[in-house]
Amino acid sequence: MFAFGGLAPARATPLNIGASVSINTDLRVNGGIVSDDITPTLSVLTALTGGVDSAVDDGSAVNAADSFSQVGNPFTDPPTPFIATAFDETVQPDGDRARGFYYIESTITPDDNQKPAVLDRTLTSTAELDFADVDTDASAASSFELGRDLVLTNTSDMTAYAFSISTGFDYDLAASADALGSQSIAEAVFTLSFITSGTVFLSDPAALLQSNMIDDSDPGVSATQNLVTSNALFDGVHYRASVSATGTGAPTEASLSAVGQFLFSVMMAPGSSLRLSFFQSENTMTSYVEPPVSEVPLPASALLFLGGLGVFAGAKKRRGRPVL
């Protein structure tokens, strides 16, 4: 038995890449109590799309997927939420896996006069790669968009009404990666839009961000927030938050969480209508690309040693020949 100092058993290469989004949002008309002359009307859903995906570049891996949905009803007691959930998972024989998942819940609650006054939403999404020994490409993703219009009509032909509309939110975003370089990527994104068909007045958004925690100190990570308010193109707000992580060979993680509220002042003239578009989206993505295997030349001493083995084997073979 020969022992070669330069040759050793291949070490397992663990991989753990993850992205997650957890969001709670709500819209409240006049604190959940609508004036008698104001009639809210819910439109059909203006955005309802979602998808999950997972992939492992291994012919022996097995894919499984499932989904479930439930129709909501605001007029049951208690209100029945709209629910949508789905997962897509690809698993290797040894249990290593890639998985995308989302869970969405949206509840419309009427006031005492059975007028839709509060919209509550929960969105959860994850994309993860979990491998004890990774040796191939893998990816996972999850996304969902949910939007609905609410039309407010002042049915009075004499009275103008002034009231508030608030959109509250709290969320947690996280992305982590631990492989080398750009082969390991994770990203999580959340957007919230509140768009109106008429003029509304937004209170100072900076004063209404109740808490904001950011952790982006690791190398290869980022955390961003962006707020666009009423301009020449729209009235309302559009808010976006995201985190991302690119592998450095050591575990890295970015996280971002916030609690806040946008408060709008509304004035409705007699007989006027106001359309409110309330929209959220979430997206998580993870990806790993197996780096190409580079040929490492053997040192000259090893080549001489292997050459000597060849000579030794040839000599042994010659000694074993029968004499003719």
Q: Residues 262-292: pLDDT tens digits?
A: 888 888 999 999 988 999 999 999 999 987 7
Average pLDDT over all residues of the chain: 84
- Check pLDDT > 50 for residue 9: no
Q: What is the mean pLDDT of residues 100-107?
A: 97
- Check pLDDT > 90 for residue 67: yes
- Check pLDDT > 50 for residue 109: yes
My answer on whether omega of the bond before 78 falls inside 30° of 0, hence cis, is yes
The pTM assigned to this predicted structure is: 0.83
**What does each C-alpha distance from 293 to 57, 135, 137, 182, 201 come to in angstroms?**
16, 11, 13, 16, 59
CA distance 316 to 311: 9
pLDDT at 65: 98
Closest by CA position to 27, among listed 95, 120, 107, 104: 120
pLDDT at 224: 95
pLDDT at 7: 43
pLDDT at 225: 92
- Check pLDDT > 70 for residue 2: no
- Check pLDDT > 70 for residue 308: no
Residues of the chain with pLDDT > 70, as a percent, come to 83
- Check pLDDT > 80 for residue 38: yes
